[in-house]
């Protein structure tokens, strides 16, 4: 496949260079909200939505910044856009699904400091993707994030029923599972670049 | 409650008791992503330390002028400014290092540890205290990065800071410098600390 083809970009972000398991982006929600499948899925979808919005915004902002030769403002303007996008999602959720809003709790505003989203905006700029490519890249990254968080949530739900040594209470076990998942995702490495 | 008095706890809290990585589990992304060698870990730790120090100082200085509703935005902008500075400084000092760390220098902005400190601490105490606490937290973060970086480099490449440790017959444990290794090593450290804590509690329980 051509490295610039849309299929390639999607699967590269979705599997081969999965944002969570290969690039270590977005680990806070990955460890924090992955206790139950019921909260993991909306978290994944909310993140994907914010990713799409910020990807579009970042694309146009970058055009403006390059046109005026003020690329050093890139970081500041990206993070401002992401913060507003998160605020938007928060307001929408609060209006239409208050229960979900409460169960996501502190992790919803923390999407702002989810490095996966800022990382996506920066990577698409470095890779010089055009508009359509950026959108597909955001879609793939969001889907990859959702997949990773669903996988670990499913595993952790099962582990609740297992008897475990007492020292594995807490994040250590999640990290070990993450390591195993990451190991298996390395099998996709040949698909990407 | 937070008062204005500076105690030794102000500094040591971040290094040990509330270590940002091992206890609070904040700022995990750079912790795992750049610790495949000791030198990268050190550079990342120092860069984060600088951003944390300067943003804590500035936030604490202007804490009475920041409107409550827009404080998060103000904090983020302050942090982003200092990260931009660090980004250009590292680029000027060593381009190799800059390429090795990649986008993760710019991603310091999204390190929840720094925003968390600004929100929970620096915006509530006078500059001197905020500075000392930030120094402790930053050092704790750097030490944690070094813990991971050195273990991963020794196991994965058989070197430490670039010096060969085991001679040429060492079979490199390659997976340790790849992404899964980051998860495994951090998980291992957490297990170790949990085990030590549990053992200490048991000893205290039996001695009573």
Three-state secondary structure call for residue A5: coil
Would residue B3 count as lying in a domain?
Answer: no
The pLDDT of residue B208 = 67
- B50 within 8 A of B86, measured Cβ to Cβ: yes
CA distance B156 to B121: 38
Please state the rounded mean pLDDT for residues A164-185. 83
Contact B149, B38 (CB under 8 A): yes
Q: Say how many domains are in chain B.
A: 1
- Taking Cα atoms as reference points, which of A20, A7, A9 lies closest to residue A184? A20
Contacts of residue B191 in chain A, CB cutoff 8 Å? 167-168, 172
DSSP state of A27: H
B131 part of a folded domain: yes
pLDDT at A1: 57
Cβ of B194 within 8 Å of Cβ of A172? The answer is yes
- Which is nearest to B110 in space by CA: A29, A17, A42, A127? A29
Radius of gyration of chain A (CA): 17
Q: Is there a domain that residue A46 lies in?
A: yes
Residues 6+ apart with CB under 8 A from B204: none
- At B94, list the tokens: 């060593």
Contact A120, A57 (CB under 8 A): no
Alpha-carbon distance A133 to nearest alpha carbon in chain B (angstroms): 20
Average pLDDT over chain A reads 83
Average pLDDT in the A2-29 region?
82
Total of domains in chain A: 1
Kindly report the average pLDDT of chain B as a whole number.
84
Q: Are B59 and B123 in contact (CB under 8 A)?
A: yes
Please, which residues 128-167 of chain B have a Cβ atom closer than 8 Å to chain A? none
**Contact present, A150 and A44 (Cβ < 8 Å):** yes
Q: Tokens representing A174? A: 């999640």
Cβ A76 vs Cβ B84: under 8 Å:
yes
Spell out the alpha helix ranges (H) of chain B: 8-12, 28-33, 38-61, 71-93, 95-101, 112-117, 127-157, 179-207
ipTM of the complex: 0.82
Domain of residue A85 covers 6-186
Q: Confidence band (pLDDT; 50, 70, 90) for B1? A: very low
What pLDDT score was predicted for residue A143?
Answer: 92
Query: Is residue B97 situated within a structural domain?
Result: yes
Using CB atoms within 10 Å of the CB of residue A40, give its burial: 0 to 12 exposed, 13 to 18 middle, 19+ buried.
buried
With respect to residue A133, please indicate whether it lies within any of the assigned structural domains.
yes
What b/e readout covers A62-71, taking b as 16+ CB neighbours within 10 angstroms? beebeeeeee
- Contact B112/A at CB under 8 A: yes
User: Is B88 touching A (CB cutoff 8 A)?
Assistant: yes
Query: Is B29 within 8 Å of A118 when comparing Cβ atoms?
Result: no
A1: in domain: no
pLDDT of residue A43: 82
* Residue A23 domain flag: yes
Q: Does B118 or A113 have the greater pLDDT score?
A: B118
CB B131 within 8 A of CB B59: no
Residues of B in contact with A25 (CB under 8 A): 29, 33, 107
Query: Taking the CA of residue A81 as centre, how many other CA atoms within 13 Å lie in the half-sphere pointing to its CB?
Result: 23
Q: Which residues span the domain enclosing B100?
A: 8-207
Residue B159 in this model has a pLDDT that exceeds 50: yes
| Burial status of residue B182 (CB atoms within 10 A of its CB: 0-12, 13-18, 19 or more) | buried
DSSP, res B169: T
CA-wise closest residue to B42 among B139, B185, B179: B139
Establish if B192 belongs to a structural domain. yes
Percent of chain B whose predicted confidence (pLDDT) is above 90: 7
Average pLDDT over residues A5-9: 84
Per-residue confidence at B53, pLDDT binned at 50, 70, 90? very high
Q: For position B82, what pLDDT does the model report?
A: 92
pLDDT digits (tens, 9 = 90+) for A22-60: 888 888 778 777 778 888 888 888 888 888 888 998 899
Nearest to A113 among B84, B106, B115 (CB): B115
User: Which residues in chain A are closer than 8 Å to B181, comparing Cβ atoms?
Assistant: 179
Beta bridge partners of B163: B160
Query: Minimal CA–CA distance to B188: which of B168, A54, A81, B180?
Result: B180
Give the CA count within 13 Å in the CB-facing half-sphere of A71: 7
The answer to whether residue A171 is domain-embedded is: yes
Say if A193 falls within a structural domain.
no
Q: Do B107 and A72 touch (CB under 8 A)?
A: no
Q: Is residue A36 one of the residues assigned to a domain?
A: yes
Is residue B202 exposed (0-12), middle (13-18) or buried (19+ Cβ within 10 Å)? exposed
pLDDT class of A192 with cuts at 50, 70, 90: low
Residues contacting residue B23 through CB under 8 Å, at least 6 positions apart = B17
């Amino acid at each position: 496949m051509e490295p610039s083809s849309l299929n390639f970009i999607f699967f590269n972000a979705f599997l081969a260079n999965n944002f969570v398991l290969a690039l270590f982006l977005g680990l806070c929600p990955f460890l924090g909200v992955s206790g139950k499948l019921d909260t993991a899925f909306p978290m994944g979808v909310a993140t994907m939505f914010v990713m799409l919005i910020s990807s579009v915004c970042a694309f146009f902002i970058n055009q403006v910044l390059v046109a005026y030769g003020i690329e050093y403002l890139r970081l500041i303007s990206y993070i401002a856009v992401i913060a507003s996008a998160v605020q938007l999602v928060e307001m929408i959720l609060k209006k239409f699904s208050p229960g979900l809003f409460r169960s996501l709790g502190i992790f919803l505003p923390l999407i702002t400091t989810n490095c996966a989203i800022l990382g996506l905006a920066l990577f698409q700029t470095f890779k010089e993707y055009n508009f359509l490519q950026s959108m597909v890249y955001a879609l793939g990254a969001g889907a990859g994030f959702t997949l990773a968080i669903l996988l670990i949530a499913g595993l952790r739900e099962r582990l609740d029923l297992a008897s475990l040594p007492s020292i594995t209470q807490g994040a250590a076990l999640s990290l070990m599972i993450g390591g195993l998942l990451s190991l298996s995702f390395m099998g996709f490495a040949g698909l990407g670049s | 409650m937070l008062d204005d008095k500076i105690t030794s706890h102000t500094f040591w809290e971040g290094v040990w008791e509330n270590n940002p990585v091992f206890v609070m589990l904040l700022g995990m992304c750079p912790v795992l992503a750049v610790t495949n060698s000791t030198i990268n870990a050190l550079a990342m730790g120092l860069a984060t330390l600088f951003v944390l120090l300067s943003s804590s100082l500035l936030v604490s200085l202007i804490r009475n002028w920041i409107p409550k509703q827009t404080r998060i935005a103000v904090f983020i902008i302050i942090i982003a400014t200092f990260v931009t500075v660090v980004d250009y400084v590292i680029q000027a000092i060593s381009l190799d290092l800059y390429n090795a760390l990649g986008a993760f220098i710019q991603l310091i902005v999204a390190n929840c540890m720094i925003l968390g400190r600004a929100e929970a601490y620096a915006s509530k105490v006078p500059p001197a205290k905020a500075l000392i606490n930030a120094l402790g937290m930053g050092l704790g973060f750097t030490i944690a990065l070094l813990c991971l970086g050195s273990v991963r480099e020794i196991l994965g490449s058989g070197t430490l800071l670039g010096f060969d440790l085991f001679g040429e017959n060492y079979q490199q444990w390659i997976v340790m410098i790849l992404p899964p290794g980051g998860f495994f090593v951090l998980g291992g450290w957490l297990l170790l600390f949990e085990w030590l804590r549990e053992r200490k509690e048991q000893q205290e329980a039996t001695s009573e």
